[in-house]
Structure 1
């Protein structure tokens, strides 16, 4: 490789690092499968939180956001799970999220939420096209049909399994 090519690659790498940020993966969350009190959790690298026992839900909830590297990792760190519950009125598993865009550019987010718990068949919900302007926040609701026959109490955890932004 010629010296000018090596320089070009180095400059490109630095530019990508500067644009995407050099933060490590992170994201906080919680799983309160046996707790009946309100709580939240966060990490020093961005993190997320949630509140248990929302007045609109019939089951306890938990949530987490897992971050990775690059744009997808940043997208994960931009998401907070506000509610994770079974909605008896619609018979859906529901997660309400807030997406906060601290960047200088507008982004459209896509989020895949995984619902799980002890004895529960894992379920997923996908929401695409969540438009968030630079420096702003937006809320979104992800839902998937409940396939069980009970009251949904076996679903105690929500987690963002995939997130991206464009």
Structure 2
């Protein structure tokens, strides 16, 4: 190869590297969706990808949140209404309300962690919770009580994972 061909290949390689590097840092592309998502706004209700606040639930419950992923948005859609031991079914039960402020219908999946004092943590999962765009839905998550007492040691519920499809 001649020297001018080597130079042309080198310049072309640098140009390609510069362009692909710029797209990975939110600097290029047509829709600007290939970046880190630090603070771009969404058309579904004006929420921001970079919000790091966690929502809170009722009756001693909480929603784990933070970060910038779709799962974090889904977790913020979930509010814990009640969290208790149900002696009739011998289950740890949490009732939740899911509010879909988006423009699309979603099926939610929620994972709930029951804790308290020295109790061994217990987990309940509910999938396929259909929530229409702009609507709310209620759901119940339950898991068998792992102890032998009255269930009073379980005083907290926490949403550890939520997804929407």
TM range (shorter): 0.7 to 0.9
Are 2:49 and 1:22 equivalent residues in the alignment?
Answer: yes
Structure-1-length-normalised TM-score:
0.74
CA distance in 2, matches of 1:11, 1:147: 48
Which has the larger Rg? 2
Are 2:65 and 1:67 equivalent residues in the alignment?
Answer: yes
Tell me the equivalent position of 1:159: 158
Tell me the equivalent position of 2:127: 128
Structure 1 runs not aligned, ≥5 long: 28-46, 52-61
Is the partner of 1:8 in helix, strand or coil? coil
Please tell me the root mean square deviation across aligned C-alpha atoms, in Å: 2.2
CA distance in 2, matches of 1:18, 1:95: 32
Runs of 4+ aligned residues of structure 1 deviating over 6 Å after TM superposition are none
Distance apart, 1:23 and its partner CA: 4.4
Structure 2 runs not aligned, ≥5 long: 1-16
Distance apart, 1:104 and its partner CA: 0.8
Distance apart, 1:147 and its partner CA: 1.8
CA distance in 1, matches of 2:153, 2:80: 19
Is the partner of 2:32 in helix, strand or coil? helix
